Structure 1
Amino acid sequence: MDLKPIPTKPYTPQTNSKAERFIKRILAKWASVIAYQTDEERNRWLPRCLGIHNGNRCHIDLGGLTPQQSLQRLLIDE
């Protein structure tokens, strides 16, 4: 798999809509929902939130698969 980064301007949904939507969702589900006492406490919850986002939540853009399922399918098809 030949992956190359494509630079985009920050905060521009027109050029990077999927990344901007992901950031918005993570902030809404992780950073803003619970009143964390410290940054360390908030950082401890991030892996769990990402695990739910990538492993449990089906994505319409991925044909109803989770990101983990989609990645597994890509790796198998290679």
Structure 2
Amino acid sequence: YRSHAFADALGDIKHKWTKPYRPQTNGKVERFNRTLATEWAYAAIYDSEQAREATYQDWIHHYNHHRPHTGIGGQA
């Protein structure tokens, strides 16, 4: 997805694109989005979007460094 408004909204976040016509890459992105939704975004009831956002950095750290991943034999 490309747009100046979207790029401005990202701020300091680097936008990465998947390769077109590459289902392996798109599958990884889709699976991550599903995990993000079930384990972070909708895993708890938040009082506000700001309360949800406040938990994101901790969740991403857990996902990248502590959560077992089935694709690499249960390793973190």
Structure 1 unmatched ranges of 5 or more? 67-78
User: Which of residues 27, 37, 54 in structure 2 aligns to 1:17?
Assistant: 27
Aligned residues: 59
CA RMSD of the aligned region, Å? 2.5
Write the deviation string for residues 29-59 of structure 1: whole angstroms up to 9, x where unpaired.
Answer: 1111211111111000011111111110122
> TM-score, normalized by length of structure 2?
0.62
Structure 1 match to 2:19: 7
Please state how far the C-alpha of 1:63 moved relative to its aligned partner: 4.4
Aligned residue for 2:30, secondary structure, equals helix
Deviation at 1:6, TM superposition (A): 3.5
Higher normalized contact order (CA 8 Å, seq sep 6+, divided by chain length): 1
CA distance in 2: counterparts of 1:55 and 1:36, whole angstroms: 24
Identical-residue share of aligned pairs (%): 25
Shift of residue 19, structure 1, vs aligned partner: 1.1
Structure 2 unpaired stretches of 5+: 1-15
What is residue 42 of structure 1 aligned with on the other side? 52
Is the helix fraction higher in 1 or 2?
Answer: 1
TM-score under structure 1 length normalisation: 0.60
**Counterparts in 2 of 1:6 and 1:25: CA distance versus 1, 3 Å:** closer
